[in-house]
């Protein structure tokens, strides 16, 4: 009985989303921007009803004994609300990419052929706890001319409903279909299974959350999924790396923040520079309490240094360390022959997310860029830059470690497709 209802409910959301997506695809830039600005205004003016909905979620989560960091993620502070409202205004100020025509060229037959950027249709977003994702996803849908079906975490359902109400009002105010952004109103877990298996209505799924959730969604989805599972990112310090730069970038890549997927988890060091470089970075990591899991060569160099810096935590790496995404004050360290071994190690163990080389050597830099098979490859920059905003995309839908469609940080264009446009004057084929 329940299963029957949830199927019907999700199919109805899908049908409504598909209908709304045709209207959204046709909407002009000004209308979409009006909706985004209205949403920013309504968020700022939301006041008590939104705050009370959020308090109910927080109270329920606290009573259920949810861990403090998870309860924190649930909270919609005034600062969070201001941030997402500003995000809507920034999106409104961005140029509209829908309808842009690229590469229009005349062909020998006389026809002119180019490609027009159009919305992909309907995306499904599956996420956990943080209610602000509801607004991020809604605003991306509006700007990109897509329809969206949003499935937030059950612990944030009251907040999400209140936010979705503001989205509906903003769409209506601009004359856009309210079904362009629909929140799944039930916390029934089966809703996710339905959402990812409606190819007739949903064109792409974007999951945000734990690895287990994303793996399950990827395995079971009947439509494409934009996702990354792991961020096992590396920095390789090449023979000719300027020492000061190498220390600064490796430190930043590892310690500026431990939890993001673009933080470094592995450090590779060319043998010729290891004696000079490792003691310096070892002292930095020692001072910051970063545990170093080392291959035998790195361990020998660092243990010698640890005599001077007793706070240094040097342990022996095991095979599993090379694949590990710690998301913590831990880093694996390995001394390699040079750029060849570094590239081979990265292509074997990295999660194809983001990897960087520190070098002065132009040829090694070029080889690293070309041969490392990752979504983002960097020369002399911190892996922490792998981010839609830092890359100048203006918005980030997610990060993809797949090669099909979108790769790396995904901006609005990841929610669009290019269709061919042919302009003729009555040409026929012979």
**Residue ranges that bind a copy of itself, judged by CB under 8 A:** 22, 25-26, 99, 105, 107, 109, 111, 113, 116, 118, 120-121, 203-204, 224, 242, 245, 248-249, 251-253, 256, 347, 356, 358, 369-371, 373-382, 384-386, 390-392, 403-405, 407-409, 417-430
Query: Is the C-alpha dihedral spanning 86, 87, 92, 95 positive or negative?
Result: positive
* Distance of closest approach, residue 93 Cβ to a copy of itself, in angstroms: 16
Q: What minimum distance in Å lies between the beta carbon of 32 and a copy of itself? A: 14
Look at residue 27 and give its three-state secondary structure.
coil
- For a copy of itself, give the closer residue by CB, 183 or 233: 233
Instruction: For residue 341, give the 3-state DSSP assignment.
Output: helix
Least Å from the CB of residue 256 to a copy of itself: 6
Rounded to whole angstroms, how far apart are CA atoms 356 and 234? Answer: 6
DSSP assigned state of 129: S
CB 163 within 8 A of CB 136: no
Q: Which is nearer to a copy of itself, 52 or 107 (CB)?
A: 107
Residue number, 210 or 424, with CB nearest to a copy of itself: 424
Distances (CA, A) of 126 to 62, 207, 296, 371: 23, 5, 43, 33
Per DSSP bridges, beta strands 101-106 and 112-119 are antiparallel
At 187, which helix (H) or strand (E)? none
Instruction: Please say which residue, 78 or 428, places its beta carbon nearer to a copy of itself.
Output: 428
Report the alpha-carbon distance of residue 234 to residue 429 in Å, rounded.
Answer: 53
Closest CA to 150 of 178, 170, 124: 124
Q: Are 170 and 203 in contact (CB under 8 A)?
A: no
| 207 DSSP β-pair partners | 126
- Identify which of residues 131 and 414 has a Cβ nearer to a copy of itself in the complex: 414
Q: Is the dihedral of CA 198, 204, 208, 211 positive or negative?
A: positive
Q: Closest approach of Cβ 254 to a copy of itself, in Å?
A: 11
The residues pairing with 410 across neighbouring beta strands, listed in sequence order, are 398
Neighbouring-strand partners of residue 225: 205
Report the residue number, 80 or 417, with the smaller CB distance to a copy of itself.
Answer: 417
Residue 159 near residue 50 (C-beta atoms within 8 A): yes
**Which CB atom, from 116 or from 327, has the smaller least distance to a copy of itself?**
116
Where does 256-338 have alpha helices with state H? 271-288, 296-306
| DSSP 8-state symbol, 292 | E
Opening angle at CA 359, ends 357 and 363, nearest 5: 95
Output 75 or 112, the one with its CB closest to a copy of itself: 112
For a copy of itself, the closer of residues 121 and 152 by Cβ is: 121
Minimum CB separation of residue 379 from a copy of itself in Å reads 5
User: Cβ closer to a copy of itself: 57 or 230?
Assistant: 230
CB of 108 to a copy of itself, least distance (A): 8
Q: Shortest distance, CB of residue 203 to a copy of itself, whole angstroms?
A: 6
Q: How far is the CB of 244 from a copy of itself (least distance, A)?
A: 8
Q: Provide the minimum distance between the beta carbon of 219 and a copy of itself in the complex, in angstroms, as a whole number.
A: 9
The 3-class secondary structure across 57-120, one letter per residue, is: HHHHHHHCCCCHHHHHHHCCCHHHHHHHHHHHHHHHHCCCCCCCEEEEEECCCCCEEEEEEEEC
Q: Is the CB of 341 or the CB of 390 nearer to a copy of itself?
A: 390
Contact 2/129 with Cβ under 8 angstroms? no
Nearest distance from C-beta of residue 369 to a copy of itself, angstroms? 5
- Give least dist CB 75 to a copy of itself, A: 25
């Amino acid at each position: 009985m329940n299963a029957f209802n949830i199927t019907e409910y999700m199919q109805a959301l899908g049908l409504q989303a598909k209908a709304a997506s045709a209207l959204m695809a046709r909407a002009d830039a000004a209308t979409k921007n009006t909706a985004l600005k209205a949403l920013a205004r309504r968020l700022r003016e939301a006041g008590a009803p939104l705050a009370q909905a959020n308090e109910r979620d927080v109270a329920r989560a606290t009573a259920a004994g949810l861990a403090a960091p998870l309860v924190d993620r649930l909270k919609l502070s005034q600062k969070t609300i201001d941030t997402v409202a500003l995000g809507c205004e920034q999106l409104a100020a961005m140029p509209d990419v829908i309808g842009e025509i690229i590469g229009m060229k005349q062909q020998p037959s006389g026809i002119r052929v180019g490609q027009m950027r159009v919305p992909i249709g309907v995306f499904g977003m599956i996420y956990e706890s943080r209610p602000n994702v509801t607004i991020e996803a809604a605003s991306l849908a509006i700007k990109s001319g897509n329809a969206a079906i949003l499935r937030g975490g059950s612990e944030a359902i009251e907040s999400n409903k209140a936010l979705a109400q503001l989205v509906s009002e903003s769409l209506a105010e601009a004359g856009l279909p309210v079904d362009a952004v629909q929140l799944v109103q039930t916390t029934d877990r089966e809703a996710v299974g339905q959402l990812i298996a409606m190819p007739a209505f949903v064109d792409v799924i974007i999951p945000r959350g734990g690895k287990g959730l994303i793996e399950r969604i990827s395995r079971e989805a009947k439509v494409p999924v934009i996702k990354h599972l792991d961020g096992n990112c590396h920095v390789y310090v090449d023979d000719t790396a300027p020492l000061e730069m190498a220390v600064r970038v490796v430190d930043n890549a590892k310690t500026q923040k431990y939890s993001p997927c673009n933080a470094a988890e592995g450090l590779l060091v060319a043998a010729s520079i290891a004696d000079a470089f490792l003691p310096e970075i070892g002292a930095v990591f020692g001072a910051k309490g970063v545990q170093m899991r080392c291959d035998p060569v790195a361990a020998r160099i660092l243990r010698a240094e640890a005599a001077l810096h007793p706070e240094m935590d040097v342990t022996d790496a095991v095979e599993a360390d090379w694949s590990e995404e710690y998301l913590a004050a831990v880093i694996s360290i390995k001394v390699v022959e040079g750029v060849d071994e570094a590239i081979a190690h990265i292509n074997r163990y990295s999660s194809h997310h983001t990897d960087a080389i520190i070098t002065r050597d132009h040829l090694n830099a070029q080889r690293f860029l070309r041969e490392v098979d990752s979504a983002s490859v960097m020369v002399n920059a911190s892996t922490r830059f792998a981010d839609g905003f830092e890359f100048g995309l203006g918005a980030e839908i997610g990060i993809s470690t797949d090669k099909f469609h979108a790769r790396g940080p995904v901006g609005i264009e990841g929610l669009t497709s290019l269709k061919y446009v042919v302009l003729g004057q009555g040409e026929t084929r012979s």
